[in-house]
Amino acid sequence: MTDMTGTRCGFVALIGEPNAGKSTLLNRMVGAKVSIVTHKVQTTRARIRGVALEGPAQIVFVDTPGLFRPRRRLDRAMVAAAWGGAADADVVVLLVEAHRGLTAGVAAILDTLRERLAPGRPVALAINKIDRVKSKALLALSAEMNAAYPFAETFMISAEKGHGVDDLRRWLATRMPAGPWLYPEDQIADLPMRMIAAEMTREKLTLRLHQELPYQLTVETEAWEEKKDGSAVIHQVVYVARDGHKGIVLGRRGETIKAVSQAARAEIEDFLGRPVHLFLQVKVRPGWLEEAERYSEMGLDFSDGNG
Ligand SMILES: Nc1nc2c(ncn2[C@@H]2O[C@H](COP(=O)(O)OP(=O)(O)OP(=O)(O)O)[C@@H](O)[C@H]2O)c(=O)[nH]1
Ligand SMILES: [Mg+2]
């Protein structure tokens, strides 16, 4: 048992524009893939907690959906979830892409931070993807960002390669309030396994499908059965909004869904460390983007999508 005197524990919200690298950073901090990552925008849909330890501190990282101007119900619910994560955090880390700099989207986030965040709540700047730019550009961007907002600290990182991530974690640890740890020492995520497994399948679908289609689908774990031999039998449903989408998800002779199923199964097996039998079913459900139950399955608040 760890000596629990002098422990610290708190929440760190990772916010930023879609594709900034928030989920990549969360996984890097936790040391395991608990949040899905793709090269496409709007991958993360809900708040995902990952737990990291740094000396006497337990840091609960909260990955959030990207912040952008929401148009549709799902957009609005995602953006509301992200701001909710920021409001509840002890420290906010704003991720900005080094090669894109202070975009209109980043400026809009800074405006909202000024309006919404409790005074005195520290916000750290993490300039991410530094592997993509020259160091001279980084200094200019850091100066520009710090002129625009009073950041508590600035870090230059590559979430993907790991540069600067340890420094950031150490600094965050010192900012955590004193208090007992919220999670057992060996816990790395706070998301039901059924949902993690559904997210892994959604990642494989997102990577394989083009354009708007990934936005128009959602994956739910319907049944999970533990077998005596230690394996798990998992049934998932892929909900699509249109008949035509079903054919695309299945692919010619079911090739697409088969490949997705194999890739997802491998990843779920890897995460669980035991054999998995994964069964995917595609269902057409035209109104799913307006169904409260689909939102709660994703971990979102349906009413946040109103207005
Ligand atoms: N070159 C480079 N690419 C990175 C880095 N960090 C993340 N990426 C890539 O950026 C893309 C987006 O990463 P995500 O972690 O999914 O971004 P996100 O901010 O969670 O995106 P949303 O969930 O859509 O808001 C992926 O293709 C990552 O591999 C980095 O440090 N360097
Ligand atoms: Mg993400």
Return the residue whose CA atom lies nearest to atom 2 of ligand 1. 129
Q: Taking CA 300 as the corner, what is the angle to CA 28 and CA 257, rounded to the nearest 5 degrees?
A: 70
| CA distances from residue 264 to 19, 241, 277 in whole angstroms, order as listed | 21, 22, 10
Report helix, strand or coil for 47: coil
pLDDT at 171: 98
Q: Which of 14, 17, 19 to mutate to test the pocket of ligand 1 (most atoms within 8 A of CB)?
A: 19
Q: How remote is the CA of residue 67 from the centroid of ligand 2, in Å?
A: 11
Answer for the pair 164, 156: CB distance below 8 angstroms, yes or no: yes
Of 1, 5, 8, the C-alpha closest to 182 is 8
pLDDT at 2: 52
| Total Cβ atoms within 10 A of residue 295 | 25
Return the residue whose CA atom lies nearest to atom 12 of ligand 1. 19
**CA end-to-end span of the chain, whole Å?**
50
| pLDDT less than 50: residues of the chain | 1
253-293, pLDDT tens digit by residue?
A: 999 999 999 999 999 999 999 999 999 999 999 999 999 99
Read off the pTM. 0.96
pLDDT at 103: 98
Answer for the pair 48, 191: CB distance below 8 angstroms, yes or no: yes
pLDDT at 212: 81
Report helix, strand or coil for 9: strand
